[in-house]
Chains A and B, each alone.
Chain A
Amino acid sequence: MTRVIIADDDRDVVEVLAMLLECKGIEVSAVAHNGKEAFDAVKENQSDVLLLDINMPVYDGYWTLEKIKMACPDVKIIILSGEIIDNVRNKISEFGNFTIHSKPFDIDELVKDICDAV
């Protein structure tokens, strides 16, 4: 079973997305509400994919991306963002190519991308 970590500061987004992914047969191994928690969760949990929000308090998505790319380069990351996609794409381009989904996203497309990433 594919295992994912969800990192988003909005607890309702995390809760609902976790329920929906489990309905679609994807296991949510951990959740995080800021960049630091996401980084710790990636280190502590054996997961395939991190679903990462960008705009988070304390440590944002860009900080998390940078840290994870250095410490755990094998973890696949999919960006889920309410920000302007072009802006996010430009800012993260230095860390590599990532799939970005703009909120509200199509769940079937997200599930497909999670499966493709593994």
Chain B
Amino acid sequence: MKITELRKHRKNFLYALYIVIGIWIAVGTVTVYIQLQDYSEGYNNLILLLSGLVLSFFTSFILISYEKLRQRLFKHQIFLEGEVNQKTKLLLQKEKLAGIGELAARIAHDIRNPLSILQNSFEIMHLKHPNLVDSVDHVRITKSINRISHQIDDVLVHVREANMKFEKEIINELILKTIEKITIPKTVDLKISGKYVVIECDEVKLEAVFNNLILNALEAIDYKGKILIRVTEKNRQVVIEVEDSGHELDPEILDRMFEPLFTTKQRGTGLGLVSCKKIIESHHGKISVKSNPTIFTITLPIEQSVRAKVELQNQNQ
């Protein structure tokens, strides 16, 4: 039997019990009254019977009202406890992020100086002794230095306060532009479907989100399988789904997917999806994940200004 059914039975039982108690109290009171007064006339007995009924109804009504109020308060208490837990969790996450952010910013600064020395020293070496390093090595070293630099930038995405630059973009083209920058192996069947939707968004930041989700999908299918990206429009919102043919994800992993520093990868920072969530939320959107199949769903308002106005109105109310 389900918990909800058990609760319902308990509720009905309590109501019945209160009615019985009410009648019992009323009958008891009337009986004692009759014995004390010793009425013999039928008219008086009728009045007494009616009084007993009214009294029993009144007592039952009070008891049932009390039970309803108690249940309502209990529900409210559960709701408030849930709210407090959720807010506490968010606050802890925010504190955790702030701490990580500060540390990451310091480390980033401390890494960038030696990286700069490394790059410039290599340039001097290359200028003074051009034959010492061939062009392939030159490109490889420069690329590696740039990669470290970009990885630092990626980690720092979640640190900085979102400085959004909203412009009208075709979401499908933005996704295609992201895909162009990723090396997709021939063993991967990547498809994008759906209608063309123009939305107000920060192009660079959304590209970072799509990049993250597609790279995650590639890793999830181990670079062989299917990835399907769907774009649909619903109620002045665009829905973007990224589905992969990877294996089913544990519910526990799904629950923790957007937690800072949570990762299932050996080389993951645990900040990729946190950054995605932050970017989507700064667009007044939502991101969620489900399995199986694994689908990341992003919902974004088509117009930022309309959404912002609605939020402002809600805040004022």
Contacts and interface: CB of A to CB of B under 8 A. Distances in A.
A13 B109 contact: no
B156 interface: yes
Contacts of B127: 20, 23
A13 B116 contact: yes
Contact of A20 (B108, B115, B124, B145): B124
Interface string A84-109: 10110010000000000011110100
Interface string A27-49: 00000000000000000000000
Interface string B233-260: 0000000000000000000000000000
A17 interface: yes
A90 B163 contact: yes
B184 to A, nearest CB: 28
B109 A16 contact: no
A52 B11 CA distance: 74
A82 interface: yes
B149 interface: yes
A104 B121 CA distance: 11
A86 B109 CA distance: 14
B105 interface: yes
A107 B156 CA distance: 23
Contacts of B110: 82
Contacts of A87: 160
B120 A20 contact: yes
Band of interface residues on B = 20 to 34
B116 A82 contact: yes
Contact of A86 (B112, B119, B163): B163
B46 interface: no
Contacts of A20: 120, 123-124, 127
Contacts of B113: 10, 12-13, 82, 103
B117 interface: yes
A19 B121 CA distance: 9
Interface string B87-120: 0000000000000000001001111111111111
A110 B222 CA distance: 41
Contacts of A12: 113-114, 117
Query: Which of B109, B111, B159 has most chain A Cβ within 10 Å?
Result: B109
Contacts of B159: 84
Nearest to A16: B120
A102 B111 CA distance: 12
B108 A13 contact: no
Contacts of B160: 84, 86-87
Given A13-B117, A87-B160, A104-B118, A82 B112 contact: yes
Contacts of A16: 117, 120-121, 124
B112 A103 contact: yes
Given A82-B113, A84-B105, A104 B119 contact: yes
Contacts of A103: 112-113, 115-116
B109 A55 contact: yes
Nearest to B105: A84
Interface of B: 105, 108-121, 123-124, 127-128, 145-146, 149, 156, 159-161, 163
Q: Which 5 A-B pairs have the closest CB atoms?
A: A82-B112, A104-B116, A103-B116, A103-B112, A82-B109
Given A17-B120, A84-B108, A104-B115, 13 more contacts: A12-B113, A13-B116, A16-B117, A16-B121, A16-B124, A20-B123, A20-B124, A23-B128, A82-B113, A83-B105, A102-B112, A104-B145, A107-B119
29 contacts: A10-B117, A12-B113, A12-B117, A16-B121, A17-B116, A17-B120, A19-B124, A20-B120, A20-B123, A20-B127, A23-B124, A23-B127, A55-B109, A82-B109, A82-B112, A84-B105, A84-B156, A84-B159, A84-B160, A86-B163, A102-B149, A103-B113, A103-B115, A104-B112, A104-B115, A104-B116, A104-B118, A104-B145, A104-B146
